[in-house]
A and B are shown apart, each in its own frame.
Chain A
């Protein structure tokens, strides 16, 4: 059976309640009649022979690149970089795509007699991956072969001795990337293009860069002019990354890009109801929903978190392409759109969404209030091409408990950001001006980022800048079920029921607004006409 495309349901009297994510749980809500509910296309059929497809892509690259085999010469210096733990979401069932791709790259290198091979996790300012996470992404065989000899490293954006200054772009943006990558004869970048913002020049220009370089595109101004950053041609974030990527190529760094795409088969069979349309729920789906909801209700918060973070997604590869960065990326984007695109006509007054337990920055950790804001206003709000789903001045209602809970090992600077910055201002431009530098250069955060598993000190700022476009665009943000104190501190309005939330929204959008609900995840990209 061919998978069905994305779907826009109009709620009527016979529509069953709709599932809304609520952090480490979910609720069923009845929307007013006339509400549009957007569903992602059903998972595409995966590539029947992923191993063969990878070999094929390496052998027949695009964009005028020579086959990878031809690029390998004895005595060369080869660096393989790969996306970090923030991709894909949820983490995929083994074997991970990165493992499958890198194993073949290493086979080619071995066959060509390449000895000097190094693996780098392209962290940018993310936290270092744990051993378990590295083993999962690369497989035990690669881990055992490289890690003990110190050949599996994680990019350190704060190690001056391991950074190379490649000068400036025409726009004056400083380009500074990982020294090993910059000084390699070939950089092979292994990417997972989960959403349309990933990949392309962003892989190297962001993943391997330093704070000095990143700040040119990770700032409030760029973010406000990225409409959206899920659509590169309208994204200032991407324009800057493309300038940098081209500058890197022009500086003589040869990048062989491998991009892969996944289908939307997001949840394992015991959670299958999460990606089915409610009116098609079977008796079994209903029963599992009821049982799961009851179990989660009864379980302590920490247990629910553990259950959810142990989910490994069954998503599978829908495409793999290799070669020159831009040509590869264009192809990958086509596959992303094929899987995630949903055509939508017209904007809405109120956009609603339920936020799940995970975002790119809390894998195996706690989703703190800043990440809640980032997931709703940064990621989900920006899942559009053309115009935002919600009209300018409209209201966004997102459901999440938004507890002021933090992971002190992974997110230490978030705690201080929440206590020291958000208590003073929620304006991205103002915090950028007043506080960013002091957090970015704080030696303690740098220490924790470099030696432990902490996000960089500046990272919470980036998360807030991610929201800048939405904050400017929206008339009000309502957090359904959110901790009132935490929600208010971020400048949003708390509401305890959907009816309350719509009541609060009516101050801004009137009594009979149009409502659109994004039924994510599984992820979708709205093509708004």
Chain B
């Protein structure tokens, strides 16, 4: 009898089906075990129900490509019959199963628990809920369903070889409690402590001094983008802070007890809890096998060589290395990197399922380190050799050359990286404070990118360093015993003997090509062609499908501002000797206006527009035409003006939103379908200096836009917004197609992170530039009174 026959027609209950190992497991069962049924425990998502998640996240994965090919048109029918999802979650008691779910579980013969939070830097409380308590919850659910229906199912719990901790020497396949060096830790105390820590940190993060700091940082990042957006950002920063504290706490606790990280630590306690409660001596025994793989990587052969899901631990490091970002990574050249292809782990689990439960909880390692060791030095050599032959390319199209690795100690690398991060942080903050636009702003944004990468590299070194330095060896005697017991045909079909791996072949021909293919990196020389990202974004913005194009005015379409316009109008008819005083006054007030504007644009405009008090409305309105033709138009960005008209040609509605005054904006009206601007109230033909209407600013712009689109039957998602400042963040976020024009460093950084289109528009070259925005000095003074001024 072979494995397939043994398991034919059995029902499997699988947790973690949407994960890397779980997907491969489900595929293998459905493909190789005749008539086997699989029930997958899936968390209902926020956007998709369980059936949809099963369809989208399991069946549509390219893991199933081979089975689809084999079954052809029968795939949907046959697989739908054999794979079902039930709603539930390993982080809640009873797995959150409903009546039907419990019935499904009760009907199953084998339960494979592969759900885990595999991230090495998960927050402690989350890791505790999933990794520590998860296995016991599954076991409890299995036991409970059995109480009603008879014999409990065989529970196979997937753990990790690293539960053994960071100690040296060989580790046998036995329970942790049987290990000589194992500390007797009270896992329930750890659970309580992690939960309490979360509560404490949530409280602490709400202390005024912390809240002030979050608000300060949100403002530093986004500027005067409006109360709600700043609040939202500050709240995100608060949550991040809590999370980082929990990550740090997990890491510290794990290291204090001899584990490399919170993952291995919580998995280890999870095993202990499972055995204590559901082992043979536990309150509710369940037939139990523990499978401990080492570092799972892409498939050696099944379903196809190189298949991988998600980005695992090694890939980001490998790609960082190939991009030349990671110049050094700690590790001992002779140290063993214990990697195991996913299909070997899957085969081992299936063989364990076929073997059935043994007396007492059995433990199997699935690891390569003893039987077929891969030295860290050899791995690095293989990787370097491969990328020397298949280099990645930088964004100028040059191949990236790789550094020689010197295998430094972990401490040195961390110190270097920390210094680099610190230095870049200082530079980046400095740049952000400068009122840079255009190229400098791009540099700042790039620097921020580099900083993120450096931070990430530091993270890798901190997180994964231990795994390259570990000198533990995971024995696989029991696993090999199981393998020997298989008949020759099964040894072929369900091979899990690590000896079959040819490392040079696996690394160069299987794993790296797969990593690079999935890594979205440049693998060919030459400059990016016409379809680079910006070009694609621009053609989306200029698709006839868009509905509305909204433009900010100052520094988006015209290099000017309300102060310029005022100064020009006010000085137009001024006697030359009065100009000196006027200019002095203007310059003296500038810093105050600037800081007021930075704090609150609405307050600034209200305050500033008082200067118009007593001005004759008609004369200003007349002069405003000259202001436009003589001062503003020469400062316009021709590409911006052309863009507005391009939108109109495409049939999009065009809208100008500006804090400028209606009289000043009047000559621009024909460019737009609609104009929203400020206006001053007047009495007897004289401006009172008070605003009659203030155009919406900040978040109010987004709200106004929402109302506007609604009134005109347009869709915000199909709208385009152009703006230059972070005070327009709300408006940019509100539309489907935000475009950032000549951004300052802050907005450039935001645009870069979010993948927004950035336009660099400049004034027509060769124009005259005047230091001061004064009217009446024009070489080519205008024709007021002659002919029609204005339409």
| Contacts from A to B (Cβ < 8 Å) | 128-134, 143, 147-148, 150, 152-154, 156, 301-302, 306, 309, 364-366, 403-409, 412, 415-416, 419-420, 442-444, 447-448, 450-453
In the assembled complex, the Cα of A447 lies from the Cα of B645 at a distance in Å of 13
| Residue B304 CB within 8 A of the other chain | no
Contact B671 A444 (CB under 8 A): yes
Contact code string B734-777 (vs A, CB < 8 Å = 1, else 0): 00000000000000000000000000000111111100000000
Contact B633 A406 (CB under 8 A): no
Contact B769 A302 (CB under 8 A): yes
Contact B766 A451 (CB under 8 A): no
Contact A131 B781 (CB under 8 A): yes
| Residue B256 CB within 8 A of the other chain | no
In the assembled complex, the Cα of A452 lies from the Cα of B788 at a distance in Å of 10
| Residue B333 CB within 8 A of the other chain | no
Contact A403 B784 (CB under 8 A): no
Q: Given A409-B634, A412-B633, do A153 and B768 touch, yes or no (CB 8 Å)?
A: no
| Residue B636 CB within 8 A of the other chain | yes
Contact B765 A404 (CB under 8 A): yes
**Which residues of B232-290 are within 8 A (CB) of A?**
none
Contact B764 A415 (CB under 8 A): yes
Residue pairs across A and B with Cβ atoms less than 8 A apart, 26 shown, are: A131-B786, A132-B780, A150-B785, A154-B786, A156-B788, A301-B766, A306-B779, A364-B780, A403-B765, A405-B765, A406-B764, A407-B766, A409-B629, A409-B634, A412-B633, A412-B641, A416-B642, A419-B642, A420-B642, A442-B645, A447-B791, A451-B791, A452-B629, A452-B633, A452-B667, A453-B629
B763, B786, B787 pick with most chain A CB within 10 angstroms: B786
| Residue B625 CB within 8 A of the other chain | yes
Residue of B nearest to A416 (CB): B642
Contact B768 A302 (CB under 8 A): yes
Contact A153 B786 (CB under 8 A): yes
In the assembled complex, the Cα of A420 lies from the Cα of B649 at a distance in Å of 14
By a CB distance below 8 angstroms, the chain A residues around B789 are 451
Contact code string B615-630 (vs A, CB < 8 Å = 1, else 0): 0000000000100111
Set B645, B764, B779, B780: member contacting A444, Cβ < 8 A: B645
In the assembled complex, the Cα of A406 lies from the Cα of B768 at a distance in Å of 11
Contact B766 A153 (CB under 8 A): no
The distance from the CB of B199 to the nearest CB of chain A, in whole angstroms, is 61
The distance from the CB of A21 to the nearest CB of chain B, in whole angstroms, is 18
In the assembled complex, the Cα of A523 lies from the Cα of B16 at a distance in Å of 88
Set A152, A412, A450, A452: member contacting B638, Cβ < 8 A: A412
Contact B787 A130 (CB under 8 A): no
| Residue B782 CB within 8 A of the other chain | yes
| Residue B790 CB within 8 A of the other chain | yes
Contact B786 A409 (CB under 8 A): no
Q: Given A451-B629, A452-B628, do A154 and B787 touch, yes or no (CB 8 Å)?
A: yes
By a CB distance below 8 angstroms, the chain A residues around B636 are 408
The distance from the CB of A139 to the nearest CB of chain B, in whole angstroms, is 14
Contact A408 B764 (CB under 8 A): yes
By a CB distance below 8 angstroms, the chain A residues around B764 are 405-408, 415
Contact A134 B645 (CB under 8 A): no
In the assembled complex, the Cα of A406 lies from the Cα of B764 at a distance in Å of 6
| Residue B207 CB within 8 A of the other chain | no
By a CB distance below 8 angstroms, the chain B residues around A407 are 634, 764, 766-767
Q: Given A147-B786, A404-B765, A407-B764, do A415 and B638 touch, yes or no (CB 8 Å)?
A: yes
B629, B639, B790 pick with most chain A CB within 10 angstroms: B629
The distance from the CB of A359 to the nearest CB of chain B, in whole angstroms, is 16
Contact B629 A147 (CB under 8 A): no
By a CB distance below 8 angstroms, the chain B residues around A444 are 641, 645, 670-671
The distance from the CB of B523 to the nearest CB of chain A, in whole angstroms, is 32
By a CB distance below 8 angstroms, the chain A residues around B628 are 452
In the assembled complex, the Cα of A403 lies from the Cα of B789 at a distance in Å of 33
By a CB distance below 8 angstroms, the chain B residues around A451 are 625, 629, 667, 788-791
In the assembled complex, the Cα of A133 lies from the Cα of B780 at a distance in Å of 8
The distance from the CB of A453 to the nearest CB of chain B, in whole angstroms, is 6
By a CB distance below 8 angstroms, the chain B residues around A406 are 638, 764-767
Residue of B nearest to A310 (CB): B779
Contact B670 A447 (CB under 8 A): yes
By a CB distance below 8 angstroms, the chain B residues around A448 are 629, 633
By a CB distance below 8 angstroms, the chain A residues around B625 are 451-452
Contact B779 A409 (CB under 8 A): no
By a CB distance below 8 angstroms, the chain B residues around A130 are 780-783
In the assembled complex, the Cα of A447 lies from the Cα of B629 at a distance in Å of 11
In the assembled complex, the Cα of A365 lies from the Cα of B630 at a distance in Å of 12
B667, B766, B769 pick with most chain A CB within 10 angstroms: B766
By a CB distance below 8 angstroms, the chain B residues around A128 are 783, 787
Set A131, A419, A443: member contacting B782, Cβ < 8 A: A131
By a CB distance below 8 angstroms, the chain B residues around A147 are 783, 785-786
Set B641, B667, B787, B790: member contacting A152, Cβ < 8 A: B787
Residue of A nearest to B637 (CB): A408
By a CB distance below 8 angstroms, the chain B residues around A404 are 765
By a CB distance below 8 angstroms, the chain B residues around A133 are 780
The distance from the CB of A442 to the nearest CB of chain B, in whole angstroms, is 7
B634, B639, B767 pick with most chain A CB within 10 angstroms: B767
Shortest 8 CB-CB distances between A and B: which pairs?
A405-B766, A452-B629, A147-B786, A408-B764, A415-B638, A406-B764, A447-B670, A409-B633
Extra A-B contacts (18), CB below 8 Å, given A128-B783, A407-B766, A453-B782: A131-B782, A153-B786, A306-B779, A364-B779, A366-B767, A403-B765, A404-B765, A405-B765, A405-B766, A405-B767, A408-B633, A408-B764, A412-B638, A419-B638, A451-B629, A451-B788, A451-B790, A451-B791
Residue of B nearest to A403 (CB): B766
By a CB distance below 8 angstroms, the chain A residues around B791 are 447, 450-451
By a CB distance below 8 angstroms, the chain B residues around A143 are 786
By a CB distance below 8 angstroms, the chain A residues around B767 are 366, 405-408
The distance from the CB of A20 to the nearest CB of chain B, in whole angstroms, is 22
In the assembled complex, the Cα of A452 lies from the Cα of B787 at a distance in Å of 11
In the assembled complex, the Cα of A307 lies from the Cα of B486 at a distance in Å of 97
The distance from the CB of B765 to the nearest CB of chain A, in whole angstroms, is 5
Q: Given A366-B766, A407-B634, A408-B634, do A152 and B788 touch, yes or no (CB 8 Å)?
A: no
B628, B667, B670, B790 pick with most chain A CB within 10 angstroms: B670
The distance from the CB of A484 to the nearest CB of chain B, in whole angstroms, is 15
Residue of A nearest to B626 (CB): A452
In the assembled complex, the Cα of A442 lies from the Cα of B766 at a distance in Å of 25
**Which residues of B619-668 are within 8 A (CB) of A?**
625, 628-630, 633-634, 636, 638-639, 641-642, 645, 667
Contact A153 B785 (CB under 8 A): no
**Which residues of B656-695 are within 8 A (CB) of A?**
667, 670-671
Residue of A nearest to B666 (CB): A451
